[in-house]
Amino acid sequence: CGHAMFKKKKSSRSRKEKNLVESSPKPSRAKEEAEKETSNSLEQSLSDSGDFGGSISVEDEEVEGLMFTGERENGRPVIKGGNIKQLVERLTYEKYNDVKYAQAFMLTFRSFTSPAELLDLLIKRYNIEPPESASKEEIEGFDGVRKVVRLRVFNILKGWLNNGYYDFKDPKLKETLLEFINKEMAVSLKNPSKTLLTVIEKKENDEKKQYEHIFTTAFPKILTLKSPVSDSFILSHHPTELARQLTLIEYKLYSAIKPSECVGQNWMSKRKEELAPNILAMIHRFNFVSTWLSSEIVRCPDLQKRTQILKHILDIAEACKQLNNFNALMEIISGLNSSSIFRLKQTWAGLPRKYVAMFEDMRAIMSRDKSYKNFREYLHNVNPPCIPYLGMYLTDLTFIEEGNKDNLPNGYINVTKRRQLAQIISEIQTYQNTPYCLEELPDLRDALFNVEALPEQQCYQLSLKREGRDGTVDDQTPDLPFGEIEKKSSYLFDKPDTEDSIIYDNRDGADKVTTAMVTAASEVKLVERLTFHEYSDPVFTSAFLMAYQSFTKASKILELLDNRFQMPRPANPSKQQMAKFQSTRMIPIHLRIVNFLRTWVNAYPRDFIEDTALQQQLQDLIQSWAESNVLLKQAADGLRKVLDKKLMMPLPTPECRYIGFLRDSEDSSSSEDTPKTLFDFDDDLIAQQFSLIEQNFFSSIGARECLCSAWDKDTMDSEAPNFLAMRINSDTITRWVCSEVLRQPDLEARYRCISILICVAEKLVEMHNFQTAMSLTAGFIQLKEKLPSLWNWIPTTVQAKYDVLNRYYNDPKLIRELELSITEEPVIPFIEPYIQQLAAILQLIPPKTGNLINFERIRKFYAVFQALEIFRATPYSFDYHEGCGGYLYNAEVWPQERIDKTAEDIPPVDAPVVRPEFEDIRNPEEAFEEISDDESEGLNSPRRQAEQEATDNLRDHLISVMSEEDQVFQEFLNEAKSNVANDLLQELRSFSICIQDELSVIQTQFGVEQTDRRQQQTITPSSQRILQRIFPGCSISIWTELDSEGVVYGWEDQVNVFRVTKSDQQYLVCVTPQLEKSDASNALRLFKFFLEASEAECATAVISSSCSAAATSVLRDNNVLLFNFNG
């Protein structure tokens, strides 16, 4: 790879060398010109432009190992061909920089050499040395030439790294390059070598990070249809929005195409999946979309609706045209030109003329005539962003590849062919650099990836069925996407839906097969819908599991599931039909069956724990299913482990800890310094302890308690024990209120007591514990009836609070409105209206509709439980207070008879002249003292006279100071002003700090979107961004389990944690805005619970915006990783 100016032959010199020698008669002049030439070349090479030396002589066209076309481009000869060494030399030519040649070389070199050979030649070129026979003058000028060549090599390597770094994923190639940079280039070109290392580091980091393009303009508004058609995917979305999402999908595929995929017709080679994966992805996407659109039309049996779908597709095509997505436009034209669609004359006849003309215009633009002449002209007049029709470029590349040989007759590499290929590749790249400013809709995008595209043969069969050759319509034969299905007499689930077997709620015109709710059905049809292949309805599943015992047995359900599993297969399927049957029918149904059983075991383990025969039946089924379908082995193993785990767990034994339950127990004794009166505790603390007590009952309510057959005490005791416990606790609290007030020794203690309790009830409403608040209010109402005169002594502000509570109690709808307005906060609802609602359903809706199971009734029962379940998602995080909690558990609660008798014995009292102030309730020593006529002489008592005399003396002294001592008074005034200013400044600083803290929390929480309580088990986009930021390249899921032993919160509840998998490492992760010591303890219990359930070893991590020192210490001591939101 030596320099051309030093190439010699043994017999004679080349004309170029001869002219070079003869042109330098004086060494000193030659040296001066060489230095000047070197200086110029360095400056121009550093800027990567310009020529080295002056004009180009004709000798440039006479180089051994190169051939020229005889043409010139920008005054430079155009290379026709050459050997690899000369081509690399010309790539780093010291006289001038041929940008077009360099671009063509780097885009196509993989078609005639390998990246390893090219790097080797560039390294040799970098280390160019003058030949031993060079003259002194030539050697003196050689240093400048070598510097230029090295800079050319540097620029080529830099461009290669920037535009083709995927070549250096080969470890050996990367190692060779790094060794060259560090050991050779770093010595002679220090700064350029650092530049290359920086580029490599940046590319490595880019591989690990995912960047989003930031647009300077806002996304266009998301478009929706005013009247979407629910039973048609394509008619349920706006055509422009569908075109936008198609465009985003295809731009991502198009922009990923690499130059190496475009040479050598790699997309048609035997190794095409390896050599041209992105072109293949575009081709597959093209065929998929075309077939999907054809399928959408022929699947529709109704002629008018079919024409409507066709019209909608043409609107999508027009939107794609407006978006310059010509690849999608051609996909649509191809689908509509298919034999399945083009023959549907009646469907096309229903189109308005405008749409027919629109389609003809699109076909004219995208016509293949004259090598896409019309499209090429149209394309060159549009501005990016744009997705051109890739098929046109693949045709051009194929034409060049097949019409030109790789090598010239003399064996030289055909550079002309590579220039032509590079021109096409450059045009492809032109449209890869401008992304679309469109908002991605993940749900719609995913749906577009998962739409069903029927095989072409089935499309044509359906087309004949919709419009026969004689124009007739075959509406008798059902659509058979898999061909004929084998007959199996024992199979129960191949019967069509009839009114005698299933009834749908189709009031909104919903499609019975997919979206309508089942209102009544037979057992077989209910199980069929539970395992429906197209979608899973979690609410339907949960409602069924809650109520199945009211109409069948568990063993019968397992028998039906086994029958459903043993479904008949296609009789004589093709490979594609069988694959589709397995992927769209068999596997989805099998997975639905296994997932249903998993849900059953998790939600109602008692069904299996108490029935050993049922356990064995389920174990046998799991074993048999896993053997018949190997794809189910993992799911079946998971189900078996869940069952084994649940069978090992002891059944929960909830404790009913009512107010005062320790009163008569042996543990009721406490230390002498423990407070035992209501006045010793803060309102907030009492409300918190009440909420913890009530939460114990509320969180224990089971779904099947909502099916209680009668809401009397005896029936509830066996069928709805936790509802009964809440009722009993409510009655206990009501009696405790009366007992606590009536046991007070005097009037003042009574009105103080009831005022405090009203304040506690208000606090409970603020904490959203409406159940306890209404229980207290019931006691207030009873006391007002029994001791009406007592209420005259209650402060006005407390009376106003009572009036609000009374309104809530008498109109539960107001409480319901409050409950529904609360999100992401703990709530204990007022339970009595829910019990009344369940009783009304029981009484008004019959369990059967004819001979069918009335599932609407079951849905309504489950809807009540679901409403309660939503409130249980966020429990209270208060700590149990031994003093206050102990006081409540040891409280004396009178029976109703004693309450009535004691109230009768208390005489009425006269109303005060002035009601007590609210501030006096907690400080009775400063309370208002009523002055009656017989006590008026107290004003003249010696104590009051002494106090008045002292007050008068102090006032006289201050007046004398202000009138006589001006300076002292001024100093006193200045000091007072200073004190006031300091106090105000201190308050302002404290307020500023509080505001900053709140803003910090708000900004932190902004990264974690709060989801609706009904969607607790979904990953929000903000949580996903935080987790991807900290664990780049990871996969994220939510792991949810039933904590039946109360390991985490102390009661049975659904708990979940993020499960993050990165490489071979798994992490259990909690994300929370703030982390105190109690939160850290909760996290440790959560991790302990899931680690015991995990099969693999998992690390644990907590992500929080702020963390207390105590929480940090707890987490570190337990080897928990701790990150902030920035990672």
Q: For position 558, what pLDDT does the model report? A: 93
Q: For position 606, what pLDDT does the model report? A: 86
Q: For position 1007, what pLDDT does the model report? A: 38
Q: For position 479, what pLDDT does the model report? A: 62
Flag whether pLDDT at 520 surpasses 50.
yes
Q: For position 943, what pLDDT does the model report? A: 58
User: pLDDT higher for 1062 or 525?
Assistant: 525
pLDDT band at 1073 (very low <50, low <70, confident <90, very high): confident
Q: What mean pLDDT comes out for the span 745-770?
A: 92
User: pLDDT higher for 832 or 942?
Assistant: 832
Q: What mean pLDDT comes out for the span 16-21?
A: 32
pLDDT band at 655 (very low <50, low <70, confident <90, very high): low
Dihedral over alpha carbons 628, 632, 633, 635 (to 10 degrees)? -150
Which tokens in the block code for residue 67?
Answer: 């051939």
Q: What mean pLDDT comes out for the span 1041-1048?
A: 79
Q: For position 734, what pLDDT does the model report? A: 95
Q: For position 1002, what pLDDT does the model report? A: 44
At 51, give phi and psi (nearest 5°). -105, 150
User: What 8-state DSSP symbol labels residue 854?
Assistant: E
Q: For position 453, what pLDDT does the model report? A: 81
User: pLDDT higher for 192 or 952?
Assistant: 192
Residues across the chain? 1127
Q: For position 671, what pLDDT does the model report? A: 45
- The most confident of the ranges 245-249, 906-910, 1097-1101 is 245-249
Which tokens in the block code for residue 1110?
Answer: 């105590």
The candidate with the shortest Cα–Cα distance to 814, out of 851, 777, 862, 857, is 777
Identify residue 851 by its one-letter amino acid code. N
Rounded distance between C-alpha atoms, residue 315 and residue 294, angstroms: 15
Give residue for tokens 């506690």: 760
Q: Strands 1121-1123 and 1098-1107: what pairing?
A: parallel
Give residue for tokens 């029981």: 842
pLDDT in tens, 995-1012: 444 444 444 443 333 344
Flag whether pLDDT at 476 surpasses 80.
no
Rounded distance between C-alpha atoms, residue 257 and residue 252, angstroms: 9
Rounded distance between C-alpha atoms, residue 783 and residue 575, angstroms: 81
Rounded distance between C-alpha atoms, residue 710 and residue 84, angstroms: 93
- Spell out the residues 6+ positions from residue 663 whose beta carbon is closer than 8 angstroms to its own: 890, 891, 892, 893
pLDDT in tens, 185-221: 988 888 999 999 999 988 888 766 666 677 888 899 9
157 burial class (0-12, 13-18, 19+ CB within 10 angstroms)?
buried
Q: What mean pLDDT comes out for the span 1085-1109?
A: 84
The candidate with the shortest Cα–Cα distance to 759, out of 868, 817, 679, 697, is 679
- Spell out the residues 6+ positions from residue 389 whose beta carbon is closer than 8 angstroms to its own: 326, 327, 329, 330, 366, 372, 375
Flag whether pLDDT at 80 surpasses 80.
yes
pLDDT in tens, 410-468: 989 999 999 999 999 999 999 998 999 999 999 999 989 888 787 787 788 889 888 88
- Averaged pLDDT score across all residues of the chain: 81
At 375, give phi and psi (nearest 5°). -65, -40
Give residue for tokens 């339950």: 661
* pTM, 2 dp: 0.47
**Under a CB-based contact definition with an 8 Å cutoff, are residues 1091 and 1069 in contact?**
no
Q: For position 611, what pLDDT does the model report? A: 86
Q: For position 306, what pLDDT does the model report? A: 92
* Coil/strand/helix, residue 521: strand
pLDDT band at 27 (very low <50, low <70, confident <90, very high): very low
Angle at 411 between CA 408 and CA 412, to 5 degrees: 70
At 485, give phi and psi (nearest 5°). -100, 140
Rounded distance between C-alpha atoms, residue 508 and residue 875, angstroms: 37
Q: For position 40, what pLDDT does the model report? A: 40
Q: For position 8, what pLDDT does the model report? A: 34
Q: For position 130, what pLDDT does the model report? A: 83
Q: What mean pLDDT comes out for the span 827-854?
A: 93
Rounded distance between C-alpha atoms, residue 195 and residue 151, angstroms: 12
Angle at 383 between CA 387 and CA 288, to 5 degrees: 15
Q: What mean pLDDT comes out for the span 232-259?
A: 93
Flag whether pLDDT at 56 surpasses 50.
no
**Under a CB-based contact definition with an 8 Å cutoff, are residues 414 and 404 in contact?**
yes
pLDDT in tens, 884-941: 888 888 888 999 999 999 999 998 888 887 777 776 666 555 444 443 444 444 445 5
Counting residues of the chain whose pLDDT is more than 90, the rounded percentage is 39
pLDDT in tens, 698-739: 988 999 999 999 999 999 999 999 999 999 999 999 999 999
Integer angstrom CA distances of residue 932 from 371, 427, 788? 113, 103, 22
User: CB pairs under 8 A, 24+ apart, for 833-836?
Assistant: 834/864, 834/867, 834/868, 835/711, 835/723, 835/727
Integer angstrom CA distances of residue 688 from 32, 685, 691, 798? 95, 5, 5, 20
Lowest mean pLDDT among 218-232, 575-589, 786-800, 845-859: 575-589
Q: What mean pLDDT comes out for the span 773-802?
A: 92
